[in-house]
Structure 1
Amino acid sequence: MANSNLIESAYTYIRNKIRAGELLPGTLLSENELAEALSMSRTPIRAAISRLETEGLLATLKNRGVLVKEVSLKEAMDTVELLFIFQKQAVEQMKDGGEKPDLKRLKELIDRQLEAERHNQYSRYLESAMEFVGCFTRVLNNTAISRIVDISVEKLVLYGTVNYIRTPHEPHYSANRQHPSIYEALLKEDYDAILQTITDAHNRNQQRMLRLARI
């Protein structure tokens, strides 16, 4: 296996553990333990850690190890605000006759979200819901925005997973109501309805994040 493949394997392993809530914020990781668990040298482990640091998921602490970072409430709310701006921009572009999102892919992601809720697989739900946002905003055809969206998605998946673990009795899976509404409006090319849906959802999400932060 090429070194680049080892790096990708280590990156995916650590990221998936974080996404699934198996490595919670505050957890200290060891390069040696990761290398042993993955049966590889520390070189690809370090490269994977560096990549995850760039994405804001890890931080190297001198002589202590690697810390799984907490996504703060402000950081999460700022990220949600940024994605909201990109989604509005995508809708306005569609209204002006621009590119439309891949409807088949959006439907597949909605189906995955709904299935994840039926089986109480919150991590899978979050990944699908965030991928829906990425697919929706991809119509902007802007590489810089796509990179920002990808990093934002990683942060919100982590924040959402931790929030789900900490507030198990609160209602979750809100995108399972929002995204089907967006999809149906896309079929009708009702862009005002889409804008209203994402605006209402954004306002609810901001209020909910503030409320849950006080629990």
Structure 2
Amino acid sequence: MAQQTAAKDRAYRYTKDRVLNGTFAGGELISEGQVADALGMSRTPVREAFLRLEAEGLLRLYPKRGAVVVPVSAREVEAVLEARELIESHAVTKLLAKPAAVREAAVARLRELLAAQTELRERGDVRGFVDADRRFHSTIVAEADNPILSELYESLRDRQLRMGVDALVRDPDRPRTIHREHTELVELIERGEPDAFRSRLAHHLGGTRRTLLGP
């Protein structure tokens, strides 16, 4: 039983990672046999992994044919970015109402993440950069000290990763743009300018929208 569970979990992680990093692209048909052969296991745990991923909305199963990777829709892109803008703007408003020492500590953490992003960008680590991008924004959200908002934001993780990787593939210069705009956002937090932050955040997220959906 333990071996069966371990095999199912391994098939799940393997397939999900490849959906999130774009190796299995939206609209692509993948088969149980394809994943089973790659992992050296039977098809049974792969079938169970596929069912789990279908429940998460990442795959659409077709009996005897395999599974199609569900593409990120335009509606989903708009919904995720709208939710992010609302949550992050609220978080910064709360952060800037806190004592100066708290704000300074938050800025220091964000600058550390900016340095990590620079290193990942220079190494050409797309998945690592997208993860760092998400950590940057999650750090801002955490400053709201609202566990429900943080949980809601965390639930967007898989969608953010897929959208982020897709945007970087479409626009190789996007990491440089993201890093520059992240730096501007941190500077606005440091100066205590919530209105300017909200405006700049909307522009920043709009860049992802334009890259994925067009002008």
Structure-1-length-normalised TM-score: 0.76
CA pair 209-24 structure 1, distance change in 2 beyond 3 A: closer
CA distance in 1 between partners of 2:23 and 2:90 (Å): 35
CA pair 95-59 structure 1, distance change in 2 beyond 3 A: same
Deviation at 1:69, TM superposition (A): 1.1
CA distance in 2 between partners of 1:45 and 1:129 (Å): 31
Q: Which residue pairs with 1:93 in the alignment?
A: 94
Matches within 5 A, 1:155-170: 155-165=159-169, 167-168=170-171
Please give the per-residue CA displacement for 1:3-58, whole angstroms capped at 9, x wherever unaligned.
Answer: 66544433332222223322111222222332332234545434543443344322
Whether the 8 Å contact between 2:96 and 2:189 is mirrored in structure 1 is no
Q: Which residue pairs with 1:139 in the alignment?
A: 143
Amino acid at match of 1:29: I
Q: Which residue pairs with 1:172 in the alignment?
A: 174
Whether the 8 Å contact between 2:58 and 2:69 is mirrored in structure 1 is yes
Unaligned runs of 5+ in 2: none
Q: Which residue pairs with 2:71 in the alignment?
A: 70
Deviation at 1:190, TM superposition (A): 4.4
Please report the RMSD computed on the Cα atoms of aligned residues, expressed in angstroms.
3.2
Please give the per-residue CA displacement for 1:50-79, whole angstroms capped at 9, x wherever unaligned.
Answer: 443344322222332121111012211221
CA pair 42-203 structure 1, distance change in 2 beyond 3 A: same
CA distance in 2 between partners of 1:203 and 1:164 (Å): 14
Amino acid at match of 2:185: I
CA pair 31-118 structure 1, distance change in 2 beyond 3 A: same
Q: Which residue pairs with 2:186 in the alignment?
A: 183
Matched, 1:149 2:150: no
CA pair 87-68 structure 1, distance change in 2 beyond 3 A: same
CA distance in 2 between partners of 1:40 and 1:76 (Å): 35
Q: Which residue pairs with 1:58 in the alignment?
A: 59
Deviation at 1:142, TM superposition (A): 4.5
CA distance in 2 between partners of 1:125 and 1:190 (Å): 27
Amino acid at match of 1:9: R
CA distance in 1 between partners of 2:192 and 2:88 (Å): 15
Q: Which residue pairs with 1:211 in the alignment?
A: 214
